[in-house]
Copies of this chain bind each other. A is one copy, B any other.
């Protein structure tokens, strides 16, 4: 919390950059909203400071990300989703209803190990959401129409 803020201020200062109200507000919004799009973050910031432009939000998110304070995740089709860096988990996105579940990153530890050993690939478990069908939609699908592939057999 405060730690990140001081870390940010120091990191900015080291690079000759300043801690501004806008940057403060954007960081606060990211932390409070937990998962939010630039649009949502902007709306939140504008509650306190209506004059802040969405361009500034984009620029600030980009900066905060380069400083390692926030990260973004692609949850699916639309806009990316920002959260503070400490807030780590794997996202499960239902491609039918769009529901997003969060599960611990440890679930990917084995996979990360295989990818590293076999392909030299360092998995970043938090950056991308896993897609599939949630319990409800998987059940619904089983009782419904089938796809072309399935009908073909």
Contacts and interface: CB of A to CB of B under 8 A. Distances in A.
A153 B61 CA distance: 11
Interface string A99-124: 00101000110110011001111111
Interface residues of A, number: 51
Oligomer: number of copies: 2
A81 to B, nearest CB: 12
A118 B67 CA distance: 35
A14 to B, nearest CB: 8
Contact of A66 (B72, B130, B152): B152
Residues of A contacting B: mostly: mixed
Which residue, of A103, A115, A122, A150, has the highest number of chain B Cβ atoms within 10 A?
A: A122
Contacts of A71: 153
A74 B127 CA distance: 12
Given A122-B133, A123-B132, 4 more contacts: A65-B152, A71-B153, A74-B76, A92-B115
